[in-house]
Amino acid sequence: MEHESGAPAPAARLTAKQLQQRVQDVTADRNQLLAIFASMREGVIAVDQQERILHINEAAADLLGIAAADSIGLSLAGVTRLRPFYEAMLKTLQSSTPVTMEAPFGLHGRELTIEITTRPLHVGGGAQFGAMAVLYDVSELRRLEAVRRDFLANVSHELKTPLTAIHGLVETLIDEPDMDRATQGRFLLKVQSQTVRLTNLITDILALSRLESQPDSLRQELIDLRDPVAESVQALAPMADAREVSVNIQVPDTPVPVAGDREALRQVVDNLLDNAIKYTPAGGRVDLRLVLDAPDAQLDVEDTGIGIEPHFQSRIFERFYRVDRARSRELGGTGLGLSIVRHTVMAMGGQVAVQSMRGRGSVFQVRLPLAPPAGSPPKA
């Protein structure tokens, strides 16, 4: 019904306004939902009952190796190479059964592990009109879980070895009360040696755990890097003399200022110098060089030792990784020293690298940012 002027009735105008508002609200909700899906790290994909793609966000497209904009309306079977994912979606479409699973998937030369969760999609009346899936890349999580399992297994093994030795030695001493004093002395020295090894191992485990869980816990104070270098050389000089290895040190005449933790830096130099001396045969030499190479301080520890084959070099900074396990244990190594070096240097904003050749020695290089001169304005 219209007024005499031909204008719409007030009720019709109100209905049109309400309809327009509802369309705007629905459009706003849809855009908001699409924005949420687009910003998710998880991949989200929805298909209809004919397996045609209704929606896919960029995260899902990246995981499946397809283009999101070109995939709408295409058949799911035609765009995905991840067979377990397709089968999970098909099961949900055919039987309304939710699926949760993990599947390996190779993408761009990388082996990924994808967690797949599918759910049926229903209209208001309850009829199923499709299915949706959430894809999540759990590769890093599974890698960290594997690292944790390996770490616990290695710790258990490394702790068990000295404890078993101590138990056997003490048991023998108890069972043979008439053992002569010279033999008792040898047994007690072995107990002491294993106790020292156990103490060093626990100390290194605690240090590494602190570095990994609280990298910001290291003190930040102005240090002349020449000081921990000199202290380390002096402390390890007796061992170098005993092994007939000459240690040569080259440091600048002027201070080498860095911002860091003095004790942690001392441990870095100790570990590198200790390894260099231990793995250098009698008559060899170790050169320790500290240079200013702005904007960094560079510390090189070079030896004429047994060296490291190239295929081992990428792994020597891993926890408990040893190129020669028997020799490392014989020399008293815990297998954690180089891992502590790497974590400490990285926590101070630096880098560590190695160059080596089997039978030709090794060069371990640490680079740390130089501290700005006193009074300099802070970096932007």
- Residue 243 shares a structural domain with residue 207: no
Q: Which domain holds residue 209?
A: 145-213
Mean of pLDDT values over 305-311: 82
Identify the residue with better confidence: 179 or 319. 179
Closest CA to 266 of 217, 223, 317: 223
Q: Is pLDDT above 80 for 257?
A: yes
* Position 91 in a domain: yes
Q: Is the N-terminal amide bond of 295 cis, ω within 30° of 0?
A: yes
pLDDT band at 5 (very low <50, low <70, confident <90, very high): low
CA angle, corner 48, sides to 42 and 49, nearest 5?
Answer: 130
Pair 218, 353: CB distance under 8 Å:
no
Residues 231 and 205 in one domain: no
Q: What is the CATH number of the domain that holds 200?
A: 1.10.287.130
Asked whether the predicted pLDDT for residue 299 surpasses 90, the reply is yes
**For the whole model, what pTM was predicted?**
0.59
Position 375 scores a pLDDT of 46
* 26 assigned to some structural domain: no
Looking at residue 207, what is its pLDDT?
80
Last residue of a domain, which of 195, 213, 231?
Answer: 213
208 and 222 inside one domain = no
Residue 300 lies in a domain: yes
Give alpha helix (H) positions in 97-180. Answer: 139-175
Percent of the chain with pLDDT over 90: 26
Same domain, 204 and 85: no
261 falls within a domain: yes
- Burial degree of 333 (CB within 10 A; 0-12, 13-18, 19+): buried
Q: How confident is the model at residue 29 (pLDDT cuts 50, 70, 90)?
A: low
Mean pLDDT within 353-370: 89
Which residues are within 8 A (CB) of 251 and not within 5 positions of it... i.e. 6 or more apart? 226, 229, 230, 289, 290
In this structure, the answer to whether residues 231 and 367 fall within a common structural domain is yes
User: What is the average per-residue pLDDT within 151-158?
Assistant: 77
| pLDDT value at residue 252 | 92
CATH number at residue 318: 3.30.565.10
Pair (278, 344) in one structural domain = yes
Q: What's the pLDDT at 379? A: 47
The encoded tokens of residue 360 equal 């030709």
Q: Say whether both 352 and 259 belong to one domain.
A: yes
Q: Which residue type, as a one-letter code, is found at position 53?
A: I
| CA–CA gap between residue 201 and residue 332 (Å, rounded) | 10
Task: Indicate if 345 and 209 belong to the same structural domain.
Answer: no
Domain boundary among 96, 112, 137: 137
Q: Residues 315, 357: one domain?
A: yes
* Within a domain: 1: no
Residue 65's domain is classified under what CATH number?
A: 3.30.450.20
Question: Is the predicted pLDDT of residue 353 greater than 60, yes or no?
Answer: yes
Domain count, the chain: 3
Residue 318 inside a domain? The answer is yes
- Decide if 120 is inside a domain: yes
On whether residue 33 sits in a domain, the answer given is no
Residue 125 has pLDDT above 80, yes or no: no
In a shared domain, residues 288 and 308? yes
Identify whether residues 121 and 186 lie together within a single domain.
Answer: no
More confident residue, 229 or 21: 229
Q: Hey, how many other C-beta atoms are within 10 angstroms of the C-beta on 44?
A: 18
**221 lies in the same domain as 248:** yes
